Amino acid sequence: MPEELDVEKRWPELFTSLGDDQRRAVVQSLANAWHEGWEPNREDVETWSSGPSA
């Protein structure tokens, strides 16, 4: 496992439409999953950053 969660560096385009509070909430949720053993991948990050489905 990498020493830091770098999803914003790896896929910055997935975070551009989010406000600061939304971005922090998404990154925190991803960090929690990462600490539990989840490995970052673009598909999951895109799903988390796109918000709830309509």
**Phi, psi (degrees; rounded to nearest 5) at 42:** -60, -40
Predicted confidence at residue 2, as pLDDT, reads: 62
**Each residue's pLDDT tens digit, 8-40:** 999 999 999 999 999 999 999 999 999 999 999
32: in domain: yes
CA-to-CA distance for 52 and 31, rounded, in angstroms? 19
CA angle 14, 20, 26 (to 5 degrees): 55
15: in domain: yes
Q: Over 60: is that where the pLDDT of 44 sits?
A: yes
CA-to-CA distance for 6 and 44, rounded, in angstroms? 14
Structure tokens at 14: 């997935």
Predicted confidence at residue 54, as pLDDT, reads: 41
Count of domains forming the chain = 1
40: in domain: yes
Return the sign of the alpha-carbon dihedral for residues 25, 31, 32, 38. Answer: positive
54: in domain: no
Predicted confidence at residue 3, as pLDDT, reads: 81
1: in domain: no
Predicted confidence at residue 1, as pLDDT, reads: 58
Instruction: Indicate yes or no: pTM above 0.85.
Output: no
26: in domain: yes
Full residue range of the structural domain in which residue 41 is found? 7-49
